[in-house]
Amino acid sequence: MEGDISVLKTIAAGLAIGLGSLGPALGIGLIAAKAMEALGRNPEASGPIQQNMILALAFAEAIAIYALVVAFVIIFIG
């Protein structure tokens, strides 16, 4: 019985981090692609574009970190 719960917790943690990092990974790719497109169209605006891109990347990465925390909670506390 205890072994079954341990296996289920491991699977749940793997799904949490796997699916929880899928969205941010796609978002980061889209952010970078759109920033490069904007830089190609207007190279003079590289400062504000880069600044906003880094801020958006940080927000997207925070969501992946939340998924990691949930995975750790499932494994160690749940």
Question: Where residue 32 sits, what CATH number does that domain have?
Answer: 1.20.20.10
Q: How many domains does the chain have?
A: 1
* Residue percentage of the chain with pLDDT more than 90: 92
Nearest in space to 34 (alpha carbons), one of 9, 52, 60, 58: 52
Give the pLDDT score at 63.
94
- With a cut of 80, say whether residue 78 has pLDDT above it: no
Give the pLDDT score at 54.
96
Which residue range forms the structural domain that includes residue 37?
2-76
DSSP character string of the chain? -HHHHHHHHHHHHHHHHHHHHHHHHHHHHHHHHHHHHHHHH-GGGHHHHHHHHHHHHHHHHHHHHHHHHHHHHHHHT-
Q: What is the mean pLDDT of residues 34-44?
A: 96
- 78 touches 52 (CB < 8 A): no
pLDDT, mean over the chain:
94
* Residue percentage of the chain with pLDDT more than 70: 100
pLDDT, tens digit, 9 for 90 and up, residues 55-68: 999 999 999 999 99
